[in-house]
């Protein structure tokens, strides 16, 4: 066990866990931030995607000891009131079916659009490629990412 001071969604939070614990389980079990989802635990599905200093990472394969001083942003901290351009686009298009993969999809899309504000279709496909949606909402995801890119640019 070791104590970690984590910067999560703009707040500092202290946890006392095994240093090898993946951030996913620290978020879900210890900090009650359950928006980040467990889908596979082996970096294959994207359901657990969060931001570390703005970069999308898979929380299931990021140990808590590797987080250090970096700012963690989870779906709960992406915006105050679901008004991040990606969230707004998601609502406009009504993307989710079951919804389980969507936090990961949104976090991947948000980090991607930070780097590439005017993506082509194939760049969107490439960026979103690692996020599985078992319900198959891919066409709506693509549509929403495009809308988000446009609205974020105005």
Alpha carbons 35 and 75: distance in angstroms, whole number: 6
98 lies in the site for another protein, by CB under 8 A: yes
- In whole angstroms, the minimum distance from the beta carbon of 122 to another protein comes to 25
38 lies in the site for ligand FES, by CB under 6 A: yes
Q: How many residues of this chain bind another protein (CB under 8 A)?
A: 44
- In whole angstroms, the minimum distance from the beta carbon of 85 to another protein comes to 12
Interactions with another protein, residue window 11-50 (CB under 8 A): 17-18, 21-22, 25, 28-30, 32-42, 45, 47
154 lies in the site for another protein, by CB under 8 A: no
Please choose, out of 8-16, 63-71, 106-114, 134-142, the segment that lies near ligand FES by the rule CB under 6 A.
Answer: 134-142
96 lies in the site for ligand FES, by CB under 6 A: yes
DSSP characters over the chain: -EEEEEEETTEEEEEEE-TT-BHHHIIIIIS--TTS--S-SSSSS-TTEEEETTEEEEGGGSBGGGTTTPEEE-GGGS-SSS-SHHHHHHHHHT--SS-TTHHHHHHHHHHHHHH-SS--HHHHHHHHTT---TT--HHHHHHHHHHHHHHHH-
Q: Which residues contact ligand FES by CB under 6 A?
A: 38-41, 43-48, 58, 60, 96-102, 133-135, 137
């Amino acid at each position: 066990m070791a104590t970690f001071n984590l910067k999560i969604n703009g707040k500092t939070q202290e946890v006392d866990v095994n240093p090898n614990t993946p951030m996913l389980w620290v978020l879900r079990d210890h900090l009650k931030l359950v928006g980040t989802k467990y889908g596979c635990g082996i970096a294959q599905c994207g359901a657990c995607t969060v931001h570390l200093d703005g970069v999308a990472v898979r929380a299931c394969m990021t140990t808590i000891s590797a987080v250090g001083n970096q700012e963690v942003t989870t779906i709960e901290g992406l915006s105050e009131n679901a008004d991040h351009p990606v969230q707004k686009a998601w609502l406009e298009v009504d993307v989710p079916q079951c919804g389980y993969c969507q936090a990961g999809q949104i976090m991947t899309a948000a980090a991607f659009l930070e780097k590439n504000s005017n993506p082509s279709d194939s760049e969107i496909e490439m960026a979103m490629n690692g996020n599985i949606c078992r319900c198959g909402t891919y066409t709506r995801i693509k549509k929403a990412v495009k809308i988000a890119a446009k609205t974020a640019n105005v």
